[in-house]
Structure 1
Amino acid sequence: MKKNYLGRIFIFALITIMAGVLLTGCGQKLTEADVSYGSEITDNVLEGIKDKNYNKFSRDFSDTMKNAITEQSFNSLTGNLNTKIGDYKSKAFSGASKTKKDNKEYTVVVYKAKYTKETGDVLITITFSDNNGKNMVDGLYFKSPNLAK
């Protein structure tokens, strides 16, 4: 029961972060080249999940994200994703935009990913912010039919 509770807290935190960023309105549209850094960082996040390696997963997280997704909640997340959508196979850029919330600028990037247990696409929305010249992950959200069940 505790594991399920932590998973729900984690999902709620991610939805809250993403909703706040996304509901501030669509900002400037960006190309894949504009957010080229996002692909490598997202690969690290997804491979960290696949390998069940928290250090790899959280390597580029902001302090806010590290506090939101602890190693314990990461273990719950990996179990939930593996059960519902399986292993990560590949991703493709879908779109990106810049937005602002509370006078802070964010870059929101969306990828369409393929997983072994999901017949359609898994939408991965990852939000970046600049932290002293380094792009850091400030939000992460997965959406798919199997995850909605």
Structure 2
Amino acid sequence: MMIRSLSILLLVVALAFPAAAEDAAPGMSQDTFQQMDAMLGNALNAYNAGNWKAFYKDWAQLMSGIATEQSFNSLYVNMYKKNFGDYKSRTFVRERSSVAGDHAVVVYKAKFSKKDGDIGVNYFRENGKWKLQQIQFN
């Protein structure tokens, strides 16, 4: 009788709080997602402001060779800003996002001032911390 009561209690708790244990995406905790999303938010604010140093602030050290003003202007100003315009908002796409080991992919549907698109973000775990590796607009 006691085992049955305990089983029922556990079932009720599990059904009452399903989101508490749910990952943001496969292999990605809600906390990890929030950290990653905040880094992307900072980078997108810097993208809108045209501030290349702030844009690359949270990027992995292994990407330092391309984290330059020239790269920022070439890709983000002359290509993405020209085609998409300023970033406006984003919606997380759970089904297209995941973590595998030290690598993560996070995808968003995004609104820009010129046209809507997707933002694909690659992250790399460097010295135990997630860092940006790549941001693409499609």
Q: TM-score scaled to structure 2, two decimals?
A: 0.71
Tell me, yes or no, if structure 1 residue 43 matches structure 2 residue 41.
Answer: yes
Counterpart position of 1:106: 103
**Rg: which structure is higher?**
2
Q: Secondary structure at the match of 2:63?
A: helix
Counterpart position of 2:123: 128
Aligned letter for 1:112? K
Taking the aligned partners of 1:82 and 1:66, their CA distance within structure 2 comes to 22
1:32 deviates by: 7.2
Q: TM-score scaled to structure 1, two decimals?
A: 0.66
Taking the aligned partners of 1:130 and 1:139, their CA distance within structure 2 comes to 13
In structure 1, runs of 5+ residues without a counterpart are 1-27, 144-149
Aligned letter for 2:117? V
**For the structure 1 residues 32 and 124, does the alpha-carbon distance in structure 2 shift closer, same or farther, using more than 3 Å as the test?**
farther
Deviations 1:30-69 (Å, cap 9, x if unpaired)? 5672511111111111111110101110001112322124
Say how many residue pairs are matched.
Answer: 110
Counterpart position of 2:72: 74
Tell me, yes or no, if structure 1 residue 89 matches structure 2 residue 84.
Answer: no
In structure 2, runs of 5+ residues without a counterpart are 1-24
